[in-house]
Amino acid sequence: MLKYFKATTNYTLTHHFAQNPYPTIVLALLPKMFRQPPPLDSRSSCFVGSLDHQFISQSMETISLKAVVDKKSNRVAFVESDEFFVDILFSFLTMPTGTIIHLLSSLSPKNGIGCMNNLYKSVENTDFMYFRTEACKDMLLLPHNAAAAYCKSLKLKIDDFDALRFFCCESPSCTSSGFKLWSHYKNLYCRCGLPMNRIVNLSCKAPSNSGSDARNRGVFVKGLTRFVVSDNFQVIPASTSAIISILTKLGVMDTNTIEERTFDIGVTEVLKLLKCSLVSKTPLTEVLLAREEVPELRNEDSLQRISLTHEILEHHSERNGETSVRLVVCKSKKVVCYAEASKDFVDLLFSFLTIPLGYLMNEMHGGLSKGCISHLYSSVTDLDAKKYLKSNDIKEILLNPKIAPGSGYKNQPLGVKEAAVDNQQYYYNSSSQELAIKTEIEPKMVSAFAPAFAPARTFPISITMDPKSPYKKNTSGGGFLLDPAMFTVSDDLVVTPISPFSGLSLLEKFKISFNDIYVCEVQVGKEEASRTNYFLHSLISHYIQL
């Protein structure tokens, strides 16, 4: 079921390999994507660091948390929370990998986040001409969250993507015509040839009982629910037995060694919790108590080099994959120096920036050697959806999140599902340039929301421009990159346009002579894609270093 496109464009990829039983080129690149994080700022104030990126909300709103601290070990045992904080924690699972990298890079001091950061920066530095559209680059650097319509209601919004904002053709006549193309991305081109850069906002009617019934609060979890969140991000419905269980596991036998403290957290602290959850077993302690030392991933932990040499050299001729990969191999060291790979394989690498964290956890079956984000995922799994979550659909969104509409492409080997485009009926108000859901407009207000040039007419927003569509077209299925193009991808995933000397430079870097290399060609297809869960495990396990 999982296939690659036919190879049409070549790329050069570099990687060292050591020992690993999994015969796949995909597996070779993930273990080193994330390494060597500098420590977090350790000032005593709860509000640590500064945020200066457009993605981060400038709101000064905070959430108050009551924490129980073990005075002897100077560790947060647990925090008591309502639905607001738990909703924020659960939203981590819906975030695309690229969004996480983007948000965390905005923390001060600026932190390197390993090889995955290099891949992100490579997309950022690649000229637009290599992409099918300008939107292709934007959707990798600022990937949309398929659950953005939910996340917009979080009390602390760390991702300011506006799910209610669309772009349409700059020509008003197109809005009243049969085209009616809309997009979440700008700089696409309408069928008439004009850019689709005119902003149109969706005006949503607030629920009539919002604010009057506390049970309707919450985004993912029900209002009026209370939870206990342990230091390792286990979210448990509040109860005496839950509290005693957590304390006894920490060796706390009575109340003499614990104290209650209150912390006010904002967007900065939430981002630091997200970052710590990927590499630390004690994120609440690291952030709330602002420890001077934060666990770092050591090189020997994060590099776990993967060797494909045996499988590549022994079995490559037997494979019937669809994407050709040319390997430059060092004979004496029996390692792959670098490879020339097709466009489709690079599309696969870039597509990891669009995949939600929850999907990765689902593929890994909750397994994780570093961090404690797996505990958060398991907590959602264990929660009674009928009792504590808004619905079973919400549970599915958290446990198996989809990528945003338009982010997928045909035969994407990971098999991740793409969220469907909303097909509700809308009215368009030409004077206010707003969309309104048909069912939310009172009959007497129809004339106000319908455009003057088309009274009482509706149109579906499902006629949405594919962000990867070429000029004046609205076709779907393609990847992010254009044919033909060649790139060099270094050992630490720095991607640059290839030059005649790129291969020579890499051989010189590795101190390998010409007579010590040979070239072989392998195929990457279903077999390799089926092993992607190991690839994802490596990605998360050796993710971001603080």
Which backbone phi and psi does 488 adopt, to 5 degrees? -105, 130
Task: Print the SS3 string covering 485-543.
Answer: CCEEECCCCCEEECCCCHHHHHHHHCCCCHHHEEEEEEEECHHHHCCHHHHHHHHHHCC
Out of 184-188, 214-218, 454-458, 480-484, pick the least confident.
454-458
* Structure tokens given for 247: 């304390």
Clarify whether residues 364 and 439 are in a common domain: no
Residue 139 lies in a domain: yes
Q: What dihedral do alpha carbons 527, 533, 534, 540 form, nearest 10°? A: 150
Confidence band of 71 (pLDDT split at 50, 70, 90): very high
Q: Specify the pLDDT at position 430.
A: 57
Residue 358 lies in a domain: yes
Q: Which residues pair with 529 in a beta bridge?
A: none
Confidence band of 54 (pLDDT split at 50, 70, 90): very low
Q: Specify the pLDDT at position 48.
A: 33
Q: Specify the pLDDT at position 504.
A: 86
Task: Print the SS3 string covering 426-471.
Answer: EEEECCCCEEEEHHHCCHHHHHHHCCCCCCCCCEECCCECCCCCCC
Number of Cβ within 10 Å of residue 477's Cβ equals 12
Q: Specify the pLDDT at position 231.
A: 96
The SS3 assignment for 111 reads coil
Given 413, 442, 460, the domain boundary residue is 460
Task: Print the SS3 string covering 52-80.
Answer: CCCCCCCCCCCEEEEEEEECCCCEEEEEE
* Structure tokens given for 35: 């390494």
Alpha-helix residue ranges (DSSP H) falling in 334-458 = 343-351, 357-363, 373-382, 385-388, 392-399, 446-449
Residue 221 lies in a domain: no
Query: Tens of pLDDT along 119-178?
Result: 899 899 989 998 998 889 999 999 999 998 899 889 998 886 676 678 888 887 776 665
Clarify whether residues 128 and 198 are in a common domain: no
Confidence band of 425 (pLDDT split at 50, 70, 90): low
Residues 103, 289 contacting (CB under 8 angstroms) = no
Start-to-end C-alpha separation, the chain: 38
> Where is pLDDT greater, at 88 or 305?
88
Residue 110 lies in a domain: yes
Residue 50 lies in a domain: yes
The SS3 assignment for 317 reads helix
Clarify whether residues 383 and 508 are in a common domain: yes
Confidence band of 433 (pLDDT split at 50, 70, 90): low
Q: What is the extent of the structural domain holding 455?
A: 165-203+424-460
Q: Calculate the alpha carbon distances from 20 to 33, 442, 516, 535, 541 in Å.
A: 16, 63, 23, 11, 15
Rounded CA-CA distance 490/12 in Å is 8
Rounded CA-CA distance 472/240 in Å is 62
Rounded CA-CA distance 154/150 in Å is 8
Confidence band of 423 (pLDDT split at 50, 70, 90): low
Given 441, 460, 479, the domain boundary residue is 460
Query: Tens of pLDDT along 8-17?
Result: 333 344 343 3
Residue 56: pLDDT over 50: no
Residues 221, 387 contacting (CB under 8 angstroms) = no
Q: Which residue has the tokens 């005006």?
A: 203
Clarify whether residues 182 and 132 are in a common domain: no
Query: Tens of pLDDT along 18-48?
Result: 333 333 333 333 334 434 333 333 333 333 3
Displacement of CA 409 from its chain's centroid (Å): 17
Residue 471 lies in a domain: yes
Q: Specify the pLDDT at position 114.
A: 59
Residue 209 lies in a domain: no
Residue 301: pLDDT over 60: no
Clarify whether residues 333 and 252 are in a common domain: yes
With CA atoms as reference, report the closest residue to 67 among 212, 324, 205, 243: 243
Given 460, 481, 514, the domain boundary residue is 460
Clarify whether residues 48 and 173 are in a common domain: no
Q: Which of 61-70, 402-411, 480-489 ranks highest by mean pLDDT?
A: 61-70
* Structure tokens given for 92: 């981590």
Residues 403, 416 contacting (CB under 8 angstroms) = yes
Clarify whether residues 389 and 450 are in a common domain: no
Residue 439 lies in a domain: yes
Query: Tens of pLDDT along 209-264?
Result: 445 677 778 999 999 899 999 999 999 999 999 999 999 999 998 889 999 999 99
Side chain identity at residue 336, one-letter code: V
With CA atoms as reference, report the closest residue to 176 among 472, 452, 462: 452
Q: How many helices (H) and strands (E) does the chain have?
A: 21, 17
Clarify whether residues 410 and 435 are in a common domain: no
Residue 534: pLDDT over 80: no
Query: Tens of pLDDT along 488-509?
Result: 777 667 777 777 788 888 888 8
Percent of the chain with pLDDT over 70: 63
Angle between helices 114-125 and 343-351 (to 10 degrees): 120
Clarify whether residues 91 and 137 are in a common domain: yes
Out of 46-60, 107-121, 138-152, 425-439, pick the least confident.
46-60
Q: Specify the pLDDT at position 159.
A: 82
Clarify whether residues 76 and 184 are in a common domain: no
Domain count, the chain: 2
Dihedral (CA of 171, 173, 179, 180) sign: positive
User: How many Å is the Cα radius of gyration of the chain?
Assistant: 25
Query: Tens of pLDDT along 338-350?
Result: 777 778 778 888 8
* pLDDT, averaged across the chain: 73
Residue 64: pLDDT over 90: yes
Who contacts 248 (Cβ-Cβ below 8 Å, separation ≥6)? none
Rounded CA-CA distance 379/385 in Å is 11
Clarify whether residues 58 and 187 are in a common domain: no
Clarify whether residues 338 and 359 are in a common domain: yes
Q: Specify the pLDDT at position 367.
A: 56
Rounded CA-CA distance 113/36 in Å is 7
Which backbone phi and psi does 399 adopt, to 5 degrees? -85, -30
* Structure tokens given for 285: 């302690």
Residues 284, 67 contacting (CB under 8 angstroms) = yes
Q: Specify the pLDDT at position 429.
A: 58
* Structure tokens given for 71: 């005075």
Q: Which of 172-181, 429-438, 537-546 ranks highest by mean pLDDT?
A: 172-181
